[in-house]
Structure 1
Amino acid sequence: MSLVSRLPLRARVMAWFSLVSLVVAGALAVATWHLSTGYMLGQRERSAIAQANGNARLVEAQLRRNPDGLAELMTGLGAEVESAVLLVDDGDWISGGNRVDPLRLPAAFLDTVRGGQGAHQRTVLDGVPVLAVGLPLPDQSATYVEVSPMRELDRTFRFLSWLLVAGAVVSALAGALLGRWAATHALRPLRRVTAAAAEAARGDLAVRLPATGDPDLVPLAEAFNDTAERLQQRVARDTRFAGDVSHELRSPLTTMLNAMAVLYRRREELPAGSRQAVELLDTDLRRFRRMVDDLLEISRPDQDRSTFELVDLAGLVLAVTEHHAALSPEVLDVAAHPWITGDRRRLERVVVNLVDNATRHGKGLVRLGITSRDGRARIEVDDAGSGVPAPDRERVFERFSRGSPADREATDSGAGLGLALVTQHVRGHDGRAWVEERPGGGARFVVELPEVAE
């Protein structure tokens, strides 16, 4: 997988927008640079050549009339240009204005002018860009060379180059901002779908996507809503089926339990083989009864919040420990006394199921803690088992999940619905439940509930 493909979608969109903006702005900058510099250089060269032609005619006329006044004329021309140089036929140079050594001019340029052809060339003298214009004076057997500085034009070019580079950079940044805005706007429907899917995953199957006027999003919203509707109906049918079956099983199960109670009390009167069969049957019937009770509990609809009341969570846990034979006061760790709003019966069932899970699957309860953190009340149940592997930490809260056989007691008769009931009841209280690693080894099951503000 390439580095670009590992970037978030929003970052990739921003990068592409920025790159496209940079390429377009760069192309425009290069085109602008060539057009503008070419035009300004052309204008400057034409102006310099025209000026040099006029000055050359003046020099030629002076040579015809009075060569002795040439030095004064050259001085006057040098006041207007950087330097004017006259080459006479005997090889002597007569210059005016700023002195320029003719030998520093490009040799090819001088050879062209001496050969009888006019020429112009840009060069650099003492770090200053100049334009040299050479014109032959055939009638006088001389050559006229005029050197003009281009400092202002060079500064203009530097300013233009920085301006175009800054424009390209600003365009790239603007493209990135535009890409961020476009990605945010385009991903907004996906964020709504993600939020709705997360709500459905947390158990709120009544969540639906709102109607939208965007024809591209209508199929997505309809498909999601149809899927959620079908899933909700399926879950409702399964729940209703489990509840109906459990209700139907309670009557014959009660009869069998009563009959088994009679047999169990008189098991000592039975032969050894029959007595063992009665004990095994009694164990399976008790497991069957717990499973039916759990199915009835889990098949009930979401609790009516009219049954909610103000509950002292620490007091509730203490009350559970008093009636639970597997608990001892030494395992209690009450670090806070948070108050919550909830259904006392279901909250007691949550605590009992967590304690039973630690006893049956976690090789014993180590700690039952009550804490408060950031406005959330927490129940923490630590066990002495080998812990829950990270890939299985969500699966253990699914229905009929019974954990690792190595951590279960040989007499474990659970049906794997205890933690599923914990999740269902906690979710009904706007809380959440999860399992993490306990410091020192083992598993820590955590229930977090919203605390009532004082």
Structure 2
Amino acid sequence: MNPLSRLSLRWRVALVLGLGSLLITSAIAVAIWNLTSGYMLRQREQSGVRQAEVNARLIGESLRAGSTGLDELLTGLTTGPESTVLLFHAGRVVTSGRQVEPTVLPDRLLDLGRRGAPAAQRLVVDGVPVLAVVLPITSARATYVELAPMLQLDRTLRFLSGLLVAGTVLSGLLGVALGVWASGRALRPLTALTGAASRIAGGDLRARLPDQADPDLKPLAATFNATADALERRVLRDARFAGDVSHELRSPLTTMVNATAVLARRRAEIPGPAGKAVDLLASEVDRFARMVVDLLEISRTDQRVDDTALETIDLGSLVRNVVAARPGPAVPVATDQPPPQVVGDRRRLDRVVNNLLDNAERHAGGAVGIAVRRRDGRARLEVDDAGPGVPPDVRGRIFERFDRGSRAGSRGGDTGSGLGLALVAQHVRLHGGSVGVEERPGGGARFTVEIPEARP
């Protein structure tokens, strides 16, 4: 896999801009370096050669005149403590200035001077950069060598190279920063689109993108909003249809429930297969009745019927009241002190707790413990059971409508309608919370509900 593909689009754009800026600045820096350093070196070489030629003429005239002050003349020709003057004459070498062994000079350079050809070369002699100029003095059969120091020029070139490198690196970093800023602004509409799509996926069908003035983004926003409008109308239409059907079913269903209750009371008088048919009919009618009630609840929520009465609720007290009102053995309830407070609809939260307990009874032999905790600013409800648990590959979809996990399609026993956990998820989302299921320590499943705590 390409390593760049692991980065976000924003960072890929930033790195491309940074790399482009680095390459362009590097090319400019190389061009500046070549032009500047070449010009400065040529100027230094020309001035050094001209000075050496003047000095060589003076020495030649002194040698022709047979002057005895050659050493003083050579000393006067040195331009500083780092400069060196060498005169090869009559089989000996006269040196002035910084002492340098003649053996450190390239033989090829000296040979050119001895053959009467002037030459110049940049060298590093004993750690000092110098310009070595070799000039023949033909009238006296001598060779003049001058080593002009280039320390100042070397420092200037070093400073220039450091400045160019720093500028190149800074340009690359500025390119990355500019890429991050520019891509952030360019991707802002995409971020808004992602947020709106996430809200729609979470059930908020009213999410829309703001109108865009940019001609490139205006069609995107208009298309998205039109799609969201169509989706909202379709969902509301389906919800109304489900609600209407469920409402129309209540009357015949009430008749069926009453008739089944009459048959159940006369069950002892109905032997054989007819009696078993009555038992099966009573079970299915009861499940059908619960399904109709759940469908009405879901359709009312889908249609955004505003029947929510918000109040501050002691979640621990609410859970204990629900447990106390249920038939059968009481389930132990553990609550943090002080109990967490939430802002919500008491009826919906009652339904959440009841549906979780019903689910435990139908599929896991009943709940074995309930806990109301406080965690990172959220109230957490935990319902534990000692059943077979929920396989990891099923945990993500058991809160979907009509999903009954491994019991889907079965008709034996009370398997539920497949809407109970879906209602739990829907009611919890309306409270800004989340639901989940995990493995309980010691075996079984732990269903969790987390809702933001009420602000004091």
Q: In structure 1, what is the equivalent of residue 334 of structure 2?
A: 333
Is the contact between residue 18 and residue 174 of structure 1 (CA under 8 Å) also seen in structure 2?
yes
Is the contact between residue 83 and residue 100 of structure 1 (CA under 8 Å) also seen in structure 2?
yes
Range with bigger deviation, 363-372 or 52-61? 363-372
Q: In structure 2, what is the equivalent of residue 21 of structure 1?
A: 21
Is the contact between residue 130 and residue 148 of structure 1 (CA under 8 Å) also seen in structure 2?
yes
Residues of 1 paired with 2:444 and 2:191: CA distance? 37
How far off its partner does 1:306 sit?
A: 5.9
Q: CA RMSD in A?
A: 2.2
State yes or no: 1:211 paired with 2:211. Answer: yes
Residues of 2 paired with 1:133 and 1:418: CA distance? 99
Amino acid at match of 2:125: L
Residues of 2 paired with 1:233 and 1:375: CA distance? 36
How far off its partner does 1:361 sit?
A: 2.2
Partner of 1:311: helix, strand, or coil? strand
Amino acid at match of 1:328: A
Is the contact between residue 376 and residue 451 of structure 1 (CA under 8 Å) also seen in structure 2?
yes
Amino acid at match of 2:146: E
Range with bigger deviation, 72-81 or 113-122? 72-81
How far off its partner does 1:66 sit?
A: 3.0
Range with bigger deviation, 409-418 or 202-211? 409-418
Q: In structure 2, what is the equivalent of residue 290 of structure 1?
A: 290
Residues of 2 paired with 1:387 and 1:57: CA distance? 106
Partner of 1:68: helix, strand, or coil? coil
Partner of 2:382: helix, strand, or coil? strand
Structure 2 counterparts to residues 76-225 of structure 1, below 5 A:
76-78=76-78, 82-88=83-89, 90-225=90-225
Is the contact between residue 372 and residue 382 of structure 2 (CA under 8 Å) also seen in structure 1?
yes
The share of aligned pairs that are identical, in percent, is 55
Structure 2 counterparts to residues 382-393 of structure 1, below 5 A:
382-393=384-395
Residues of 1 paired with 2:368 and 2:14: CA distance? 52
Q: In structure 2, what is the equivalent of residue 7 of structure 1?
A: 7
Structure 1: tracts of 5 or more residues without a match: none
Q: In structure 2, what is the equivalent of residue 437 of structure 1?
A: 439
Amino acid at match of 1:368: I
Residues of 2 paired with 1:414 and 1:397: CA distance? 13
Check 1:97–1:263 CA distance in 2 against 1; reply closer, same or farther (3 A cut).
closer
How far off its partner does 1:410 sit?
A: 4.7
How far off its partner does 1:107 sit?
A: 0.5
Check 1:415–1:224 CA distance in 2 against 1; reply closer, same or farther (3 A cut).
same
Is the contact between residue 396 and residue 402 of structure 1 (CA under 8 Å) also seen in structure 2?
yes
Residues of 2 paired with 1:74 and 1:325: CA distance? 120
Residues of 2 paired with 1:190 and 1:239: CA distance? 30
How far off its partner does 1:150 sit?
A: 1.1
Check 1:238–1:147 CA distance in 2 against 1; reply closer, same or farther (3 A cut).
same
How far off its partner does 1:409 sit?
A: 10
Match of 2:321 among 319, 322, 327: 319
Residues of 1 paired with 2:444 and 2:155: CA distance? 75
Amino acid at match of 2:43: Q
Residues of 2 paired with 1:287 and 1:305: CA distance? 26
Check 1:74–1:347 CA distance in 2 against 1; reply closer, same or farther (3 A cut).
closer
Match of 1:452 among 440, 451, 454: 454
Amino acid at match of 1:128: V
Describe the superposition over 1:332-391 as per-residue Cα deviations: whole angstroms up to 9, x where unpaired: 222343333332222211111010111112343121122223333222111223333344
Structure 2 counterparts to residues 16-95 of structure 1, below 5 A:
16-78=16-78, 82-88=83-89, 90-95=90-95
Is the contact between residue 283 and residue 414 of structure 2 (CA under 8 Å) also seen in structure 1?
no
Q: In structure 2, what is the equivalent of residue 354 of structure 1?
A: 356
Residues of 2 paired with 1:347 and 1:401: CA distance? 22
Range with bigger deviation, 108-117 or 187-196? 187-196
Is the contact between residue 64 and residue 139 of structure 2 (CA under 8 Å) also seen in structure 1?
no
Describe the superposition over 1:373-424 as per-residue Cα deviations: whole angstroms up to 9, x where unpaired: 3333222111223333344333111110112239x99512411000111122
Partner of 2:260: helix, strand, or coil? helix
Q: In structure 1, what is the equivalent of residue 366 of structure 2?
A: 364
Is the contact between residue 308 and residue 345 of structure 2 (CA under 8 Å) also seen in structure 1?
no
Amino acid at match of 1:263: L
How far off its partner does 1:157 sit?
A: 1.8
Structure 2 counterparts to residues 293-308 of structure 1, below 5 A:
293-300=293-300, 301-302=303-304, 304=306, 307-308=309-310
Residues of 2 paired with 1:384 and 1:220: CA distance? 51
How far off its partner does 1:302 sit?
A: 3.2
Check 1:341–1:136 CA distance in 2 against 1; reply closer, same or farther (3 A cut).
closer
Describe the superposition over 1:188-228 as per-residue Cα deviations: whole angstroms up to 9, x where unpaired: 11211121112112211110000111222223222221221
Amino acid at match of 1:104: V
How far off its partner does 1:79 sit?
A: 5.1
How far off its partner does 1:42 sit?
A: 0.4
Match of 2:379 among 367, 372, 377: 377
Is the contact between residue 366 and residue 385 of structure 2 (CA under 8 Å) also seen in structure 1?
yes
How far off its partner does 1:436 sit?
A: 2.5
Is the contact between residue 432 and residue 449 of structure 1 (CA under 8 Å) also seen in structure 2?
yes
Residues of 2 paired with 1:327 and 1:252: CA distance? 34
Q: TM-score, normalised by structure 1?
A: 0.93
Q: In structure 2, what is the equivalent of residue 266 of structure 1?
A: 266
Is the contact between residue 83 and residue 148 of structure 1 (CA under 8 Å) also seen in structure 2?
yes
Is the contact between residue 368 and residue 384 of structure 2 (CA under 8 Å) also seen in structure 1?
yes
Amino acid at match of 1:87: F
Check 1:313–1:98 CA distance in 2 against 1; reply closer, same or farther (3 A cut).
closer
Structure 2: tracts of 5 or more residues without a match: none
